């Protein structure tokens, strides 16, 4: 009973905070403390949000953003897993490759954006190639470390059980590497979204970023629309991150980090 009360109180507190922030926002803009040119009112933003959710443009923009994100992530992550695994399995290969990859990982992808715009214009192709490139480097490092990070007892057991070749790779190496790979994937998904929006905002690729820019350029009358689009982008972020957290939980259900270490309930 007490636990239930606590849960309700907690949810209530969270809702309360959100409401309090909205009320404060509304009050500040109504009294003119926040200049209405730059800060729309809370109600205004919500009205705009309602309006925008019904417009076809929003959903086209979401589709465009997601298209770039999904393609870029798919290409970048797949290549990273493939190449990372190959590199990770060979000592010489990964010792040689890691310094180069670590260097390239620190290069801000933004630096490549103007080049990408030059080569491909403000297109979906530009977006997903940029995203794939940006997502690849940190992820391939994660895959390499994952493939190499096999626990000594796990490895010894594999030798004793006479596990070799493809079977060993599938049954031992990959699951061992899975926590690293899943972490890398989760981070990659978030990075991909960030790069996506930047490519749209600056590169002019179609999507939510561009819509935000249009709304901003349309002047004070569209300020509420701009904020509405920003909120939608945030919600997309919540969706994407949530999706990958769930995925991680599912795939790594056996890993100590995911299971609540239950009291020994069997004898």
Partner 1 sequence: MWARTRPAARAWPLAPARRGRGAARRLPGPLATAARAVLGLWLMVVLVALWWVLSRDSTSPYFPPLRAIVDRLVDLWIVGSAKAELVPSLEHFAVGYALAGVLGIVTGAVLWRLRWLREATSPMLYFCYVLPSAATLPALITIFGIGDTMKIMVIALAAVWPTLLNTVDGMKGVDPLKLDTASVLHLSQAQTLRWVVLPAALPQIVAGLRSSLQIAIILMVVSELVASTTGIGFFILNAQQSFAIIDMWTGIIVLAFVGTALNVIFVLIERRVLAWYYGARATQEAA
Partner 2 sequence: MEPIVSVRKLRKVYVLGKSDERVALEDVSFDVHKGDFVCVVGPSGAGKTTLLRCISGLMPPTSGDAYFEGQELTSVPDRIGVVFQDYSQSLYPWLSISRNIALPLKVRGVDKATRQARIEEVLHSVGLPDVGKRYPWQLSGGMQQRVAIARALAYQPDLLLLDEPFASVDAPTRFGLEDLILRVRTEFDVTVVLVTHDIDEAVYLADRVVVLSGSPSVVREIVDVPLPQPRSQATTRSDERFVQLRQSLLGLVTVQ
| Contacts to partner 1 from residues 168-187, by CB under 8 A | 179-180, 182-184, 186-187
Nearest CA to 176 among 248, 244, 255, 250? 255
Least Å from the CB of residue 180 to partner 2: 14
Report the SS3 class of residue 107: coil
Among the listed residues 158, 188, 206, 240, the single contact to partner 1 using CB under 8 A: 240
Sign of CA dihedral 226, 230, 233, 239: negative
Residue 156 as a binder of partner 2 (CB under 8 A): the answer is yes
Residue 243 as a binder of partner 2 (CB under 8 A): the answer is no
194 binds, among partner 1, partner 2, none (CB under 5 to 8 A by kind): partner 1
Give the whole-angstrom CA distance, residue 72 versus residue 194.
12
Which residue do the tokens 């009112």 mark?
41
Looking at beta carbons only, is 79 or 230 nearer to partner 1?
230
Query: Which distant-in-sequence residues (6+ apart) come within 8 Å of 201 by Cβ?
Result: 209, 210, 212, 213
The residue range among 58-66, 155-163, 184-192, 212-220 that interacts with partner 2, by the rule CB under 8 A, is 155-163
Q: Is 52 within 8 Å of 228 (Cβ atoms)?
A: yes
Q: Which of residues 246-265 bind partner 1 (CB under 8 A)?
A: 248, 257
Residue 118 as a binder of partner 1 (CB under 8 A): the answer is yes
Residue 194 as a binder of partner 1 (CB under 8 A): the answer is yes
Query: 223-251 vs 208-217: helix axis angle to the nearest 10?
Result: 160
Interface contacts to partner 2, rule CB under 8 A = 151, 153-154, 156-157, 159-164, 167, 171-172, 175, 178, 254-256, 259, 261-262, 264-267
């Amino acid at each position: 009973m007490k636990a239930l009360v606590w849960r309700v109180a907690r949810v209530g507190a969270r809702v309360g905070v959100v409401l309090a922030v909205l009320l404060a926002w509304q009050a500040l803009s109504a009294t003119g403390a926040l200049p209405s040119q730059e800060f729309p009112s809370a109600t205004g933003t919500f009205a705009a949000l309602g309006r925008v959710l019904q417009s076809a443009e929003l959903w086209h923009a979401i589709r465009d953003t997601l298209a770039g994100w999904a393609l870029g992530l798919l290409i970048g992550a797949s290549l990273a897993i493939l190449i990372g695994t190959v590199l990770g399995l060979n000592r010489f290969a990964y010792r040689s490759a890691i310094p180069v990859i670590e260097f390239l990982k620190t290069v801000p992808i933004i630096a490549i954006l103007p080049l990408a715009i030059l080569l491909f214009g403000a297109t979906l192709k530009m977006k997903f190639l940029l995203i794939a490139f940006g997502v690849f480097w940190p992820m391939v490092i994660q895959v390499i470390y994952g493939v190499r990070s096999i626990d000594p007892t796990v490895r010894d057991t594999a030798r004793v059980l006479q596990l070799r070749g493809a079977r060993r790779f599938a049954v031992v190496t990959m699951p061992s590497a899975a926590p690293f790979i899943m972490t890398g994937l989760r981070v990659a998904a978030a990075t991909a979204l960030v790069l996506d929006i930047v490519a749209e905002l600056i590169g002019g690729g179609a999507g939510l970023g561009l819509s935000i820019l249009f709304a901003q350029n349309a002047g004070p009358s569209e300020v509420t629309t701009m904020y509405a689009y920003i909120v939608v982008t945030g919600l997309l972020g919540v969706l994407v991150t949530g999706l990958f957290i769930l995925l991680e939980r599912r795939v790594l259900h056996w890993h100590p980090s995911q299971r609540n270490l239950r009291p020994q309930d069997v004898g």
